[in-house]
Structure formats: structure tokens, C-alpha cells
Amino acid sequence: MAAHPGTSSSSFPVTSAPAVLAHATHARAPRGLLRLCVLLPLALASLLAACGGSSGGGGTSSNTLVFGAPVSLTGSLSHEGTDTLNGYKLWAETVNAKGGIKVGNTSYQVQIKSFDDASNPTTSTQLTRQLITQDKVNFLLGPYGTTATLADETIAQQYKIPMVEGNGAAHSIFAKSNPYIFGVLSPASEYAKTMLQAALALPTPPKTVAIISANDSFSVEVANAAKAFADSNNLKVTYFQQYPANATDLTTVLTALKTSNSGGVPDMILGSGHENEAIVTMKQAKQLGINAKLYGFTVGPALPDFITTLGGDSNFVLGSSQWTPQVKYQGQDVFGTAPNFEQMYKAKYNVEPSYQAAESAATGLAFQFAIEKAGSIAPDKVRDALANLDVMTFYGELKFDASGANVTKPMATIQIQSGQVVTVFPSDIANAQLKYPTPAFGSR
């Protein structure tokens, strides 16, 4: 701000506005008025531009890198969206406390600029555009959820600004040959597979499985991958059914599921959907007396309110998780290890970090490593560095394939045991044994 008025190029609007007014009073009325009408708005516009330019130019002029993020702080995704923003903020604070991002001899402080998209993908794209064109952010962090990510990545591509996201796992996000999108999380195909692998690794594995899924594209994609995996691993799929997303009543599905297997209830019930549906599945399974040997849900068990809502009935339930505080990676990043991240997160927010928070923090780490490796803050150079990135972090390995997806990091299978979430698979990162089979409702 201080440097601007002194430069010669900007002297015209500042000095000419009073001059125009003075001139107008002397000239003949029509001509003067005309000139006033033309020149005054021009002068005001340049004044505004001068002010706007200096206050909003933090992205490029000072040693601050601005990361734009449209996130859902209200509406149906507010829960996950808040975790996402918390992860971004913790990363920014931690990086800044450790001296910022180093590019050559310059250290850049990190600033997160975020807006609430109200859980609306259309709003999310508008905010992404606004972040790029008006707020002049240097880079983009992803929104929450597949739908918003799908919409926002096209804006990133349009303006050639790299976006690293941690909350959209659908194949469709990476199937668009968009060179500017990178996802740190494991893709959709892995979500249910990890639970089936965990089940098949048991001494006496389940022989039959019922797979139910919500009918949104992500849940269907996960369910289809699960069915393909079960089919090729001698696990008989006795029931494979979609229901409407956000269904409040699943008795019909559960009644059909119960009789789908000639030898009684299938050994395993696998749900691909959302937390509320997972809770309804468990509540109504109890009401209808459906006792399987194993229950697994892609979304739900990892979230704290799954346990508080279901109480003892949540025990023995499997879930898949992008990350747990128990994973044993030795990272080169500012957090280092999962327990360290957990401790810092709890110190700041007073809650356990969800995997959404961890993967969101990991998106920042990907940028940090790529920028430092590129030795530049030019979007294209950073993009190229992201494409060739291969680093270990507290969250797992960050390495992107040609489509921008992270296929290197495995997913974890968690189980709720005595009201606590423990990691049971894969064995090299597990901190507990998978408990099997599940006792009947009422004795868990």
C-alpha cells in the first residue's frame, strides 16, 4: 500500500480527480458536465483499482503463498467440511511455525483462504472461480466430497492452477485427463476391498457376503469394485442391491438380504454408503433379528458418532479408513508420525482427528514438497513437481499415477472393539487382532 502512490504510473487518478472537478466549474455547463460524467467515474475506477490491487495482491507481492479452499461449513456436509478445513489450518500453522515453505533462499508463509460452499457443488465452483480471479490465490486445495471435487477440478484446469485434494475418491475425478488434479487419498476401488481382504485373511473366513449400497455414483463404484473382488476370491455374493441414497428405512433391503442365502443370514454384510445409512442398517438389523458374523461399512465406523449413536451394537463392526492415528509411517514432513499429528490436532481442536482431517493436512504437505522441489512458485512448475512426487509422510506415501490418483498408499481396515476404534488390517500397520465372529445382538 505504501509503495503504490509514490510511483509515477499511478499519479494520474489520484491528482486528477480534484482537477476535473475544478475544471468543470469553469467550463460551459454542457461540455463540463459531459467531461465530468466521463472522467469522474474513470478517476474513481482507477482509484478503486489502485486500492484493490495493493490490498488484494498478497498472493504474489509479499512472501506469502495463498491456498484457496472452498469447504462445506454449513449444510449436510458441514461435519466433514469442518474437519477438512481444520486439517488445512493445522498444516498452515505448523508449516509457518517451522519457518514456512522454502523456495531457494526465500521463505514463504502459508495462508489459507477459504469460503463456505454450504454443501452445494455449484456454489463450490463459483467460489473456486472467485478464489482464482478475485482473491488471486496461488494454489487450490480441494473441497469436501466427490461431487464438489468433480465440479471444481474443471475450474482449476481452466485457469491452469494445480489442485491437490484429499476428499474426493471417485474414479471419475481422475478419468478426465485433467493434468491439474491430484488426490492424496486412496481411490474408490480400495474402500471395500480392504475389508474383504481383512475378512479373507481370517483362519476361517466368511463364505458368503451381501453387498448393499446407496445409489449415488461413488457408493455404486465402491460396491461394484467390492463385488468384482469377492467374485474373484471365492467369496459368494448372495445379495447385491442398491437403495436410494439417504434412505431412512432399510427394512425392505434387510428382509430380502436375510433370505438371499439358502443357509441362513449371509456370513458378512457389507454396506457402501453413508454414515446415516450404516446406522439405520445396524438398528434395523437388530430390530429384525439379523445376526451376521461380520458387518462392514465403507463410511461410518471411523466417525465418532457412529459409536455414540449405536452404543454396544457398534462393537465388532468393521470400517475402512484412509488413515488412522495408529498407522506406523515415518514421514519426512512437518508432522513426522501419525501419533504426533494426532497430538497436535487434539491440542488445537480438542477432538480426535478424523481421517478427513489427516488427508486434508496431507494435501498441504504434497504442495509443500512439490514447491520446494520445484524451487519455484510458478503453477506449471509446481504441477510438474507434483506429478513426479514420491515422499513418505505421516499419512502414508504420496505418489501420483498419470491420472493424479494416489494408488500407492493402502487403506486401513478398522474395527470397533469395546467402544474404541482399532486398526486390524493390513497387519504391518495394525495394532489389534480382528475379532470374529460377531456375537448376536444383545451380547456385544
Partner 1 sequence: MPNAQILVNWLLIGSFYAAVALGFSLVWGIMNIVNLAHGSLLILGAYVAYFAFTALHLNPFIGIILAMLALFVVGWLIQYIAINRVIRAPLLVTFMLTFGLDLLITNLAQQFFTANNRAINSSLAGVNLTLGAIVIPVQNVLAALIAVLLTAALSLFLARTRTGNAILAVGMDRDAARLMGINIARTYALTFALGAALAGAAGAMLAMTLQFQPVDAGQYTLFAFVIVALGGLGTPWGALAGGLLFGLATTLSGSIQAIGPGLQTTVAFAVLVLVLVLRPRGVLGKAFYS
187-246 residues in contact with partner 1 (CB under 8 A) are: 215, 241-244, 246
77-96 residues in contact with partner 1 (CB under 8 A) are: 78-79
Q: For residue 366, which of 70, 95, 150 has the smallest C-alpha distance?
A: 95
Place of cell 465402491: 222
Asked if 423 and 324 count as a contact pair (C-beta separation under 8 A), the reply is yes
Determine if 295 is a binding residue for partner 1 (CB under 8 A). no
CB of 264 to partner 1, least distance (A): 11
Asked if 190 and 224 count as a contact pair (C-beta separation under 8 A), the reply is no
> By rule CB under 8 A, what string of x and - marks binding of each residue 372-411 to partner 1?
----------------------------------------
Applying CB under 8 A, which of residues 174, 297, 306, 395 lies at the interface with partner 1?
Answer: 306
3-class SS of residue 389: coil
Long-range contacts (CB closer than 8 Å, 24 or more residues apart) made by 21-27 = none
Determine if 310 is a binding residue for partner 1 (CB under 8 A). yes
Determine if 275 is a binding residue for partner 1 (CB under 8 A). yes
Applying CB under 8 A, which of residues 111, 201, 422, 441 lies at the interface with partner 1?
Answer: 441
SS3 content of the chain, % helix, strand, coil (to 5): 45, 20, 40
Applying CB under 8 A, which of residues 111, 309, 337, 340 lies at the interface with partner 1?
Answer: 309
CB of 311 to partner 1, least distance (A): 4
Applying CB under 8 A, which of residues 56, 228, 231, 249 lies at the interface with partner 1?
Answer: 249
CB of 42 to partner 1, least distance (A): 42
* C-alpha R_g of the chain: 27
What burial class does residue 38 get, using C-beta atoms within 10 Å of its C-beta: 0-12 exposed, 13-18 middle, 19+ buried? exposed
**Stretch of residues binding partner 1 (CB under 8 A), selected from 108-116, 126-134, 175-183, 310-318:** 310-318
Q: How far apart are CA 87 and CA 95, in angstroms?
A: 12
Determine if 18 is a binding residue for partner 1 (CB under 8 A). no
Determine if 279 is a binding residue for partner 1 (CB under 8 A). yes
Q: How many residues bind partner 1 (CB under 8 A)?
A: 42
Determine if 439 is a binding residue for partner 1 (CB under 8 A). no
CB of 60 to partner 1, least distance (A): 37
Applying CB under 8 A, which of residues 74, 107, 177, 433 lies at the interface with partner 1?
Answer: 74
Half-sphere exposure of 311 (CA within 13 A, CB side): 5
CB of 389 to partner 1, least distance (A): 34
Determine if 276 is a binding residue for partner 1 (CB under 8 A). yes
Residue 40: C-alpha distances to residues 29, 32, 414 (Å) = 15, 11, 67
Give the nearer residue to partner 1 in terms of CB position, either 82 or 415: 82
312-331 residues in contact with partner 1 (CB under 8 A) are: 312-313
CB of 276 to partner 1, least distance (A): 6
Q: How far apart are CA 133 and CA 110, in angstroms?
A: 19
End-to-end CA distance of the chain: 65
Determine if 255 is a binding residue for partner 1 (CB under 8 A). yes
CA 268 centroid distance within chain: 29
Give the nearer residue to partner 1 in terms of CB position, either 7 or 262: 262
3-class SS of residue 140: strand
- Report residue 28 as a C-alpha cell: 460551459
Q: How far apart are CA 223 and CA 240, in angstroms?
A: 8
CB of 259 to partner 1, least distance (A): 5
Applying CB under 8 A, which of residues 101, 253, 411, 416 lies at the interface with partner 1?
Answer: 253
Residues near 409 by beta carbon (within 8 Å), at least 6 away in sequence = 184, 185, 186, 322, 395, 396, 397, 398, 399
**Stretch of residues binding partner 1 (CB under 8 A), selected from 3-11, 87-95, 305-313, 339-347:** 305-313
Give the nearer residue to partner 1 in terms of CB position, either 52 or 244: 244
**Stretch of residues binding partner 1 (CB under 8 A), selected from 53-61, 99-107, 284-292, 336-344:** 284-292
3-class SS of residue 420: strand
Q: For residue 24, which of 43, 10, 3 has the smallest C-alpha distance?
A: 43
* Interface residues toward partner 1, by CB under 8 A: 74-76, 78-79, 215, 241-244, 246-253, 255-256, 259, 275-276, 279-280, 283-284, 286-289, 304-306, 308-313, 441-442
